[in-house]
Amino acid sequence: MKILIANRGEIALRVLRAAHELNIGTVAVYSMADKDALHVKLADEAYCIGKSFSRDSYLNMENILSVAVLAQVNYIHPGYGFLSESPLFRRLCRECNIGFIGPHERTMELMGDKVMAKEIAKKAGIPVVPGSDGEVATEEEALRIARTIGYPLLVKASSGGGGKGIRIVEREEELKGAFTASKNEALANFGSDGVYLEKYLKNPRHIEFQILRDEFGNAVHLGERDCSLQRRKQKVVEESPSPTLPADLRQRMGEAAVKCADASDYLGAGTVEFLLVSDGSFYFMEMNTRIQVEHPVTEMVTGVDLVKEQILIALGQELSMKDKPLELRGHALECRINAEDPANNFAPSPGNISFLHFPSGNGIRVDSACYSGADIVPFYDSMVAKIIVHGKDRAEAISKMKSALYELTIQGIKTNQEYQEEIISSDFFRDGDYHTLTLDHMRG
Ligand code: ADP
Ligand code: ADP
Ligand code: MG
């Protein structure tokens, strides 16, 4: 048995390790910029798939599939980002007789399109964020529908992801400009320009549920992650459980997440994202049909290895926890450490890491593919490490994170380490009193 990992960085290592533990062979692929990367060194086999830009390598389906066929792999794990949510790639894998560790092509098509996903959720009886019924084709139509929704509202790309393709519109005069800007950004980033409108909810929390579903229709949720601490719609700190979610809401939202999984005939690990507003109403926002960056916080509180579960489900096994009620134990936090310069509007800060020391110890986990001497190349995502802690309760988790961030040493490049320390030490974080705009209000 052999798995090809069509990804790089920390998630490639995460999948490699899970495969090693399961005694499954591993094949890494890498771009020219990544020839010295750890995933290349740790895999049983490794093959270069092209030049440094993602479109020439990690997004190059032909090159990846050629390696997969020639190396005779049984499955491909796509990680997150890159091809992980591409139904076309999934279909090509099938046509090449290679398994895909992820949901069915049809599920990816339906849930990858945010408009269709909302339709499915709605049909399943789950409240969705109010907005246009489907995509909006013209500016005139947008203006007309916007009047029924009211301002402020969001223009969102149906195919969007990673916080891209979203525009806030405060007043009618701004709608035309935002409509065009969102369409263009969507076309440039996702290759399709469909957009829709959504009511801009006031100070919501981003609460998402991890789900697992096997091919026999067994489905569970593994509790929530609170990802409300975002900078410009990108997640910065994540935690499980949420500091403020009452048990009855957890149960209702978890049931809604499982309904989404059933309604889309889901296979594997997925995430259902909701927005929760202060009166306790929650709304389906989107579903991500892949492993998520912040999956470790769920692993820490449930004790479930989500990547191993993904692999075993793809191999046709039943969910390992289908008959055991899941218990959430303690509290976990994750801080994303990015190579970026907070003093320069968080601009990416690639370069050579001259010295690196990661914190460790009881309840501390670091997921990263960096090492002393490694180059952070400018071609990909700027995330360099995820610092994850697990404490018996939230207060202990916060102390551990403070101590871990204090110990973390990355020299040679600029990072958001101090920004993270500021967040973790803040009163609003200690009190769990935050929402999706808190960080944008904190400073620039
Ligand atoms: P998560 O949703 O797991 O928290 P992010 O939203 O930070 O993760 O996205 C993880 C990675 O995947 C980032 O590199 C992001 O740019 C990329 N990504 C997410 N969604 C898409 C998409 N629809 N198309 C392309 N890249 C995406
Ligand atoms: P992506 O696919 O890029 O992750 P999402 O649709 O998940 O896009 O939205 C990203 C973030 O934008 C959310 O976590 C939330 O902070 C904010 N957001 C999205 N839709 C709304 C909305 N209708 N009202 C308020 N905030 C929203
Ligand atoms: Mg999202």
pLDDT tens, position by position, 160-203: 988 888 999 999 999 999 999 999 999 998 889 999 999 999 99
Residue 412 has pLDDT above 80, yes or no: yes
pLDDT tens, position by position, 131-153: 999 999 999 999 999 999 999 99
The full set of domain ranges for the chain reads 2-101, 130-199, 205-442
Best of 275, 281, 290 to mutate for ligand 2, by most ligand atoms within 8 A of CB? 275
Interval between CA 150 and ligand 1 midpoint (Å): 29
Task: Pick the residue whose CA is nearest to atom 25 on ligand 1.
Answer: 81
Task: Pick the residue whose CA is nearest to atom 8 on ligand 1.
Answer: 293
What is the CATH code of the structural domain delimited by 205-442? 3.30.470.20
Q: Is 27 helix (H, G, I), strand (E, B) or coil?
A: strand
Residue 10 has pLDDT above 60, yes or no: yes
The DSSP output letter for 35 is: T
**Residue-wise DSSP of 150-185:** -SSEEEEETT--TT-SEEEE-SGGGHHHHHHHHHHH
Q: Provide the pLDDT for residue 324.
A: 82
Q: Provide the pLDDT for residue 162.
A: 86
Asked if residue 223 lies in contact with residue 302, where contact means CB atoms within 8 angstroms, the answer is yes
- Give me 154's structure tokens: 């969001």
Interval between CA 292 and ligand 3 midpoint (Å): 10
Residue length of the chain: 444
pLDDT tens, position by position, 22-51: 999 999 999 999 999 999 999 999 999 999
Residue 266 has pLDDT above 80, yes or no: yes
Is residue 290 annotated as a catalytic residue, yes or no?
yes
Asked if residue 74 lies in contact with residue 2, where contact means CB atoms within 8 angstroms, the answer is yes
Angle made by CA atoms 125, 128, 131, in degrees to the nearest 5: 135
Does residue 381's CB lie within 6 angstroms of at least one atom of ligand 1? yes
Average of per-residue pLDDT across 322-344: 94
Phi first, then psi, for residue 47 (nearest 5°) are -135, 140
Interval between CA 42 and ligand 2 midpoint (Å): 36
Task: Pick the residue whose CA is nearest to atom 21 on ligand 1.
Answer: 161
The total of other beta-carbon atoms located within 10 Å of residue 55's CB is: 9
Does residue 306's CB lie within 6 angstroms of at least one atom of ligand 1? no
Task: Please name every residue paired with 226 in a beta bridge, in sequence order, or none if there are none.
Answer: 207, 239
Angle between helices 394-407 and 417-424 (to 10 degrees): 150
Does residue 402's CB lie within 6 angstroms of at least one atom of ligand 2? no
Among 139, 89, 136, 140, which Cα is nearest to 115's?
136
- Give me 323's structure tokens: 């008959």
Q: Is 346 left (phi over 0), alpha (psi -120 to 50) or beta?
A: left
Is the sign of the CA dihedral 70, 74, 77, 83 positive or negative?
positive
Question: Catalytic residue among 14, 205, 231, 290, which?
Answer: 290
What is the rounded CA–CA span in Å between residue 89 and residue 58?
12
Asked if residue 267 lies in contact with residue 318, where contact means CB atoms within 8 angstroms, the answer is no
Phi first, then psi, for residue 229 (nearest 5°) are -80, 100
pLDDT tens, position by position, 214-223: 999 999 999 9
Residue 444 has pLDDT above 70, yes or no: no
Is the sign of the CA dihedral 427, 235, 244, 156 positive or negative?
positive
Average of per-residue pLDDT across 314-320: 96
Q: Provide the pLDDT for residue 325.
A: 78
CA 422, chain centre distance (Å)? 23
pLDDT tens, position by position, 221-240: 999 999 999 999 999 999 99
Task: Pick the residue whose CA is nearest to atom 3 on ligand 1.
Answer: 292
- Under the banding of pLDDT at 50, 70 and 90, the label for residue 322 is confident
Does residue 288's CB lie within 6 angstroms of at least one atom of ligand 1? yes
Q: Provide the pLDDT for residue 323.
A: 82
Task: Pick the residue whose CA is nearest to atom 18 on ligand 2.
Answer: 233
Whole-prediction pTM? 0.96
pLDDT > 90: what percent of the chain? Answer: 95
Task: Pick the residue whose CA is nearest to atom 15 on ligand 1.
Answer: 162
What is the rounded CA–CA span in Å between residue 157 and residue 402?
37
CA 139, chain centre distance (Å)? 31
What is the rounded CA–CA span in Å between residue 416 and residue 342?
6
pLDDT tens, position by position, 276-311: 999 999 999 999 999 999 999 999 999 999 999 999
Interval between CA 61 and ligand 1 midpoint (Å): 18
Does residue 105's CB lie within 6 angstroms of at least one atom of ligand 2? no
Phi first, then psi, for residue 62 (nearest 5°) are -60, -45
Does residue 157's CB lie within 6 angstroms of at least one atom of ligand 2? no
- Under the banding of pLDDT at 50, 70 and 90, the label for residue 84 is very high
Average of per-residue pLDDT across 351-377: 98
Interval between CA 173 and ligand 1 midpoint (Å): 31
Q: Provide the pLDDT for residue 32.
A: 98
What is the rounded CA–CA span in Å between residue 176 and residue 180?
6
Q: Is 102 left (phi over 0), alpha (psi -120 to 50) or beta?
A: left
Phi first, then psi, for residue 369 (nearest 5°) are -110, 15
Interval between CA 233 and ligand 2 midpoint (Å): 6
Ligand 2 atom at shortest distance from the alpha carbon of 163? 3
Average of per-residue pLDDT across 106-111: 97
Residue 319 has pLDDT above 90, yes or no: yes
Q: Provide the pLDDT for residue 306.
A: 98
- Under the banding of pLDDT at 50, 70 and 90, the label for residue 359 is very high
Out of 2.60.40.10, 3.90.470.20, 3.40.50.300, 3.40.50.20, the CATH code matching 2-101 is 3.40.50.20
Asked if residue 260 lies in contact with residue 350, where contact means CB atoms within 8 angstroms, the answer is no
**Residue-wise DSSP of 188-245:** HHHS---EEEEE--SS-EEEEEEEEE-TTS-EEEEEEEEEEEEETTEEEEEEES-SS-
User: Domain 130-199: which topology?
Assistant: Dna Ligase; domain 1 (3.30.1490)
Average pLDDT value over all residues in the chain: 96
Contacts 24+ apart (CB under 8 A), 167-170: 168/200, 169/200
Q: Provide the pLDDT for residue 44.
A: 98
Task: Please name every residue paired with 283 in a beta bridge, in sequence order, or none if there are none.
Answer: 275
- Give me 220's structure tokens: 């569970």
